[in-house]
């Protein structure tokens, strides 16, 4: 699908992978809406890019419905939606203090899995109302899974379950939307240098990077954004989750 002149929604767009996507899509000519819970950061990025910023909690139905209503009014129907909003919380199923509190599991599932579905349902409804291009395409949705969906490390049960859920939805949703010309894909990143990672101690960052076969380093957010652009532009990519991990397979811990 053409990125030029499309309305593109990027959740988690105020930071890291989402910010890189918002920059790349703007560069490619899209009109970008940056949705995030960090409104100030979203606003300063949107001002720089000439897009719009909207406070939105992806886990909340009303907040996201309100966000999409604003996007329709201010930019038009979205043709591209990239969901990057996500959180990480580490805890063992049974830790030193006993069983993991259920609320901790729930919080991650709400943001990462329910949040992805919330944006998918609203974006797809708007995409379905757009005019199709020559290929019959009306929209493209890209979700952010993780290689943790396949190789969850000890202490990552909630994150792993949430990202596996995201990966599992892609083919199902692509099938449902095939008749409406909407493609649905996910990216499963390995380790990328974003604020989520740069907060870790340097020694931990170095040991994480050392386990990456080639190139033996963390990915750059622009490399993630470049794959997202390819997914949007290439009509044959559909119902897939693409690993972007430099051959990394996570060890148990
Ligand atoms: N960085 C990595 O190595 C890596 C690897 C695999 C997957 N991922 C996934 O990529 C996505 C982006 O991660 P990142 O590394 O850029 O992290 P990040 O922390 O830099 O960015 C995440 C953004 O999401 C926003 N956000 C969090 N909860 C939200 C909510 N409920 N509603 C709206 N916005 C919310 C945050 O405010 C932040 O701006 C996440 O889904 C993460 O799980 C990252």
The predicted-structure confidence for 101-145, as pLDDT tens digits, reads as follows: 999 999 999 999 999 999 999 999 999 999 999 999 999 999 999
Selecting among 68, 105, 141, 159, the annotated active-site residue is 159
Residues facing residue 192 across a β-bridge: 219
Q: How many distinct structural domains can be found in the chain?
A: 1
The predicted-structure confidence for 213-251, as pLDDT tens digits, reads as follows: 999 999 999 999 999 999 999 999 999 999 999 999 999
Evaluate: CB of 109 within 6 angstroms of ligand 1: no
pLDDT band at 14 (very low <50, low <70, confident <90, very high): very high
Residue nearest to atom 29 of ligand 1 (CA): 85
Q: What is residue 29's predicted lDDT score, i.e. its pLDDT?
A: 98
- Average pLDDT over the chain, rounded to whole? 97
pLDDT at 169 over 80: yes
pLDDT band at 199 (very low <50, low <70, confident <90, very high): confident
Q: Would the pTM count as exceeding 0.75?
A: yes
Annotation marks residue 159 as catalytic: yes
Quote the ligand 1 centre to 133 CA distance (angstroms): 31
**Which residue range(s) make up the domain with 95?**
7-190+221-243
Is residue 189 within 8 A of residue 219, CB to CB? The reply is yes
DSSP 235: T
Q: Does residue 214 sit within a domain?
A: no
DSSP 192: B
CATH number at residue 128: 3.40.50.720
Burial annotation 82-98 (CB, 10 A radius, 16+ → b, else e): bbbbbbbbebeeeeeee
pLDDT at 18 over 80: yes
Evaluate: CB of 17 within 6 angstroms of ligand 1: yes
107's tokens: 């919080």
Is residue 82 within 8 A of residue 19, CB to CB? The reply is no
Per DSSP (E only), the strands in 134-239 are 139-144, 182-189
Quote the ligand 1 centre to 40 CA distance (angstroms): 16
Distances (CA, A) of 190 to 27, 149, 215, 239: 25, 11, 12, 20
């Amino acid at each position: 699908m053409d990125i030029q002149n499309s309305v593109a929604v990027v959740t988690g767009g105020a930071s890291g992978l989402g910010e890189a996507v918002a920059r790349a899509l703007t560069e490619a000519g899209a009109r970008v809406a940056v949705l995030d819970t960090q409104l100030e950061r979203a606003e300063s990025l949107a001002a720089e890019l000439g897009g719009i910023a909207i406070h939105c909690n992806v886990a909340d139905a009303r907040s996201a419905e309100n966000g999409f209503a604003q996007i329709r009014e201010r930019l038009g129907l979205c043709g591209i939606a990239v969901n990057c909003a996500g959180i990480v919380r580490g805890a063992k199923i049974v830790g030193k203090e006993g069983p993991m509190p259920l609320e901790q599991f729930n919080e991650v599932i709400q943001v990462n899995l329910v949040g992805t579905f919330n944006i998918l349902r609203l974006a797809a409804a708007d995409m379905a109302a757009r005019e199709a291009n020559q290929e019959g395409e009306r929209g493209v949705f890209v979700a952010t899974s993780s290689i943790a969906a396949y190789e969850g490390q000890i202490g990552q049960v909630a994150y792993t379950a949430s990202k596996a859920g995201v990966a599992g939805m892609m083919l199902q949703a692509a099938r449902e939307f095939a008749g409406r010309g909407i493609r649905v894909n996910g990216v499963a990143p390995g380790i990328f240098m974003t604020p989520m990672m740069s907060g870790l101690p340097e020694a931990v960052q170095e040991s994480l990077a050392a386990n990456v076969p080639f190139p033996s380093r963390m990915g750059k957010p622009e490399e993630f954004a470049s794959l997202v652009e390819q997914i949007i532009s290439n009509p044959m990519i559909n119902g897939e989750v693409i690993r972007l991990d430099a051959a990394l397979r996570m060890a148990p811990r």
